[in-house]
Amino acid sequence: MIKIRLKRLGYKKNPSYRIIAIDSRCKREGAPIEELGFYNPKTKEMKLNVERAKTRLSQGAQATETVMYLINNANEDGTLNYKKSEKTKLSKKAQAKLEEEKAAQAAAAAQEAEAPAASEA
């Protein structure tokens, strides 16, 4: 099966990637069938041949999650239309704390709803 995925380039802690079409059984740094573009995550610079990528997808190639995001957010000329994520990632402890606060607020709202009903009777 053909996969569209990223091939890592660049030196330590400074990655840049080529977007390639490659056989899924080959290693990440193996010889690609076709190079579709490049992506630098630090500068958000990208150049992608969107036509060829969509052609490969229509032929049955599977794109990784990251590459699918890049294809969907590419402009007509192949540059990245970067959208900053508004959702912040929280640690498990922070998520648990947030859920506890929401539960406490819901319980307080339920008590307030019961209190006026009891005073009317």
Give the whole-angstrom CA distance, residue 21 versus residue 53. 8
Q: Mean pLDDT throughout 5-23?
A: 92
- Mean pLDDT computed over 104-110: 90
Query: Per-residue pLDDT tens for 109-119?
Result: 888 887 765 55
Segments making up each domain of the chain, as ranges: 2-72, 87-121
User: What CATH architecture does domain 2-72 belong to?
Assistant: 2-Layer Sandwich (3.30)
Model confidence pLDDT, tens digit, residues 20-74: 999 988 887 788 899 999 999 898 899 999 999 999 999 999 999 999 999 988 8
pTM of the full structure: 0.64
In this prediction, residues 92-102 reach a mean pLDDT of 92
